[in-house]
A and B are shown apart, each in its own frame.
Chain A
Amino acid sequence: MPARISRDDVSHVARLALLELTDDELERYTEQLGAILEHATDVEALDLADVAPLSHPLPVQNVFRDDEPGDALDREEVLGQAPAAESGRFRVPAILGEEP
């Protein structure tokens, strides 16, 4: 198992997940995530060497259908639920020129 999750790790993960944390939150989440991940080390007791991962309970396969026009959601109704829309599209603030 990797080393216990650090404050910097949590800060990095929050950035990846587009969340801002206060110092207090950073402290608390580091402690709590550490405890949860530590509990998860109980699986070290299992021999997993020759076990294939199971990502899904069903043998999932691609499901295809014929490409025929059918009912779709009403465009105006969908855009009407957006925080901002314009000319049949979702409207967002500036994207170009900002930090990624």
Chain B
Amino acid sequence: MTATALSLAGAVRSGERSAREVVQASLDAIAARDGEIHAFNTVTAERALAAADRVDARIAAGEDPGPLAGVPVALKDNLCTRGVATTCSSKILDGWDPPYDATVVSRLAGAGAIVVGKTNLDEFAMGSSTENSAFGPTRNPHDLTRVPGGSSGGSAAAVAAGFVPLSLGSDTGGSIRQPAALCGVVGVKPTYGRVSRYGLVAFASSLDQIGPFAATVADAAACYDAIAGWDRLDSTSITDPLERTSAALGRGVTGLRVGVVAEMTDERMGIAPDVLARTRAAADALASAGATVEEVSVPAAIYGLSAYYLIAPAEASSNLARFDGVRFGLRVDAPTTAEMQRATRTAGFGPEVKRRIMLGTYALSAGYYDAYYGKALKVRRLILRDFEAAYERFDVLLSPTSPTTAFELGTKTNDPLTMYLNDVCTIPSNLVGHPALSVPYGTGSDGLPVGVQVMGPALSESLLFQVAAALEGSLA
């Protein structure tokens, strides 16, 4: 599917193409190539075609089904869909069909979009390569020997492969932006609280945020506009007025102050030379387009990794306590409830999830709380201070999204710490709750996609899309 979401919606709304035809084309593309990519855990063909027929019926009746009318979308499989399996790519949710839809799912449907399936992820969104899935890895559509990144690797691959023009992922430490970079698509982590988390299976509640993947900046903005906004079902949902980001895309970057983060463009931090070269090219392009570009130091940002790998597991160890074989999913029978819970969790969780649950439990346990979790929260405050200082001088910040292009399957699975280093540039935005996006900016020395990250202060989504549109335009 090479057409953009906006052009498809335009064709469907004008009656030029039927939603059924558009959805069928998406399903055909999936059937033809997902066998080798494995972006999807579940394809909901019948439901999708039925939903497409409802959109077509509304158009025939002279109604407007919404700005994303007939657009096929894919959902990360940790977003609840009523009556459709939601697995988190974990054995522990085996057989669970949620009794409700996530708010983002309702909002996409309200905008006329049509869900074609649920995409693969690292189990419970814990990982950077989608290799931690109980159902096998997803492969990068640009090179099947490489990972798509993670944890939202299935959603990124589904857009990169042309299966769908739009998909949703969740980003706790880079899980939208890093796979977007590795798959050569746009990926957006909104401001914490901008998009309702209701119906997102929680990993780390103070860090998780849902956001879109798209092939173009305009499509990503349109999808963000459809899902963002206050929701009474999420108590951390922000009530500030919402700006339509789609309106900001053509504003250009003249006069904008862009800071290139020194600590994230340093080869000593493990950033590959070809990725650095593309980041500098992006900075040059913004300068040529009229922005003021300077280097800026955000000294505490590099400590984000250490803080994150204590805070996120701590929150996860608490959130994942609910998977105990009582209310949903897997139960391994045993004579007593305690034995049943232990047997269920031992059989149901994969190795990375167990590792993080234990790390978090340890960081929160008596005698270690102050040394680990408490200290990590202080580092988090320092990082926020440093970003706030940077935003006194700059409108947006620029960095690579991922230290390298897509790596080969199996090369980092035996060493968790090496895998975690993938997130060094993306984690700080989650810790401070600020928005950030990844936009494709050419290829590395291996011919694989490179993404650059644009970061901004809270609620600066319009500005980020505006800068991303300028970068996208500079490549055209």
Chain A residues within 8 Å of B, Cβ to Cβ: 1-2, 5, 9-10, 13-14, 16-20, 25, 29, 32-33, 35-37, 39-43, 45-46, 48, 51-58, 60, 62-63, 65, 73-74, 77-78, 81-84, 90, 92-95, 98-100
Is B359 among interface residues, defined by CB-CB distance under 8 A? yes
Q: Once the chains bind, are B306 and A82 in contact (CB under 8 Å)? A: no
Q: Which residue of A lies closest to B191 (CB)?
A: A57
- Interface range on chain B: under 10, 10 to 19, 20 to 34, or 35 or more? 35 or more
Residues from chain B with a CB closer than 8 A to the CB of A1 are 371
When A39-B417, A48-B378 are in contact, do A82 and B328 touch as well, CB less than 8 Å? Answer: yes
Stretch at the interface among B1-9, B135-143, B156-164, B232-240: B232-240
Contact B310 A13 (CB under 8 A): no
Q: Is B144 an interface residue (CB 8 A)?
A: no
Given A55-B377, A73-B100, A78-B99, A32-B337 contact (CB < 8 Å): no
Q: Are B99 and A81 in contact (CB under 8 A)?
A: yes
Q: Please determine whether B331 and A46 come into contact, CB atoms closer than 8 angstroms.
A: no
Closest beta carbon of chain A to B335's beta carbon, Å: 6
**5 extra interface residue pairs, beta carbon distance < 8 Å, beyond A58-B236, A98-B339:** A14-B358, A18-B342, A19-B342, A62-B235, A90-B327
Q: Which residue of B lies closest to A85 (CB)?
A: B327
Asked if B416 contacts A93 (CB within 8 A), the reply is: no
* Interface status of B361 (Cβ within 8 A of chain A): yes
A93 touches B340 (CB 8 A): yes
Contact A16 B365 (CB under 8 A): yes
Check B381 against A52 for contact (C-beta < 8 Å).
yes
How distant is the Cα of A9 from the Cα of B362 in the complex, in angstroms?
Answer: 8
Whether B342 lies near A40 (C-beta < 8 A) is no
- Does A18 lie within 8 Å of B336, measured CB to CB? no
Majority-rule SS of B interface residues = helix
State how many angstroms separate the Cβ of B291 from the closest Cβ of chain A: 27
Q: Is the CB of A83 within 8 A of B365?
A: no
User: At the interface, yes or no: B433 with Cβ under 8 Å from chain A?
Assistant: yes
The reply to whether B374 and A53 contact each other, CB–CB distance below 8 Å, is: yes
Other-chain residue from B96, B235, B337, B434 in contact with A63 (beta carbon distance below 8 A): B235
**Interface: B29 (CB within 8 A):** no
Question: Contact string, B363-378, partner A, CB cutoff 8 A, digits 1/0?
Answer: 0010110011011111
Whether B337 lies near A95 (C-beta < 8 A) is: yes
B381 neighbours in A (Cβ, 8 Å): 51-54
Given the known interface contacts A48-B379, A51-B381, the answer about A77 and B99 at a Cβ–Cβ threshold of 8 Å is yes
Residues from chain B with Cβ under 8 Å of A36 in the complex:
309, 359, 416-417, 420
Residue-by-residue, is B311-344 near A (CB-CB < 8 Å gives 1, otherwise 0)? 0000001000000111111110111111111110
B297 contacts A by Cβ under 8 Å: no
Q: Is B11 an interface residue (CB 8 A)?
A: no
> A90 to chain B: which residues have CB within 8 Å?
326-327
Of B120-128, B171-179, B246-254, B349-357, the stretch lying at the interface with chain A is B349-357
Give Cα A37–Cα B331 distance, bound, in whole angstroms.
32
Which residues of A are found within 8 Å of B25, using beta-carbon distances?
Answer: none
Report the minimal beta-carbon distance from B150 to chain A, rounded to whole angstroms.
Answer: 18
Which has the most chain B C-beta neighbours within 10 Å: A29, A83, A99? A83
- In contact, A20 and B342 (Cβ under 8 angstroms): yes
- Does any Cβ of A come within 8 Å of B116's Cβ? no
**Among B206, B375, B416, contact of A57 (Cβ-Cβ < 8 Å):** B206
B278 interface residue per 8 A CB criterion? no
Verify A18–B303 contact, CB threshold 8 A: no
Known contacts A83-B325, A93-B340, A17 near B361 by CB under 8 Å? yes
Question: Looking across the interface, which residue of chain A has its beta carbon closest to that of B232?
Answer: A65
A5 x B238 contact (CB < 8 A): no
Contact assessment for B324 and A58 in the assembled complex, using a CB-CB cutoff below 8 Å: no
In the complex, chain A residues whose CB is within 8 Å of the CB of B361: 13, 16-17
Instruction: Please indicate the chain A residues that have their CB under 8 angstroms from the CB of B355 in the complex.
Output: 29, 32-33
Is A19 in contact with B349, judged by CB distance below 8 angstroms? yes
Question: Is B307 in the interface zone, CB < 8 Å from A?
Answer: yes
B308 nearest in chain A by CB position: A40
Question: Contacts A53-B378, A63-B235 given: A95-B206 contact, CB under 8 Å?
Answer: no
Please determine whether B377 and A53 come into contact, CB atoms closer than 8 angstroms. yes
Known: A48-B375, A54-B380. A19 touches B345 (CB 8 A): yes
Residues of chain A within 8 A (CB-CB) of B34 are none
Interface: B432 (CB within 8 A): yes
Task: Note all chain B residues with C-beta closer than 8 A to A43.
Answer: 303, 306-307, 375-376, 379
B45 within 8 A of A: no
Name which residue of chain B comes closest to A83, CB basis: B331
Query: Which B-chain residue is minimally distant from A32 (CB atoms)?
Result: B416
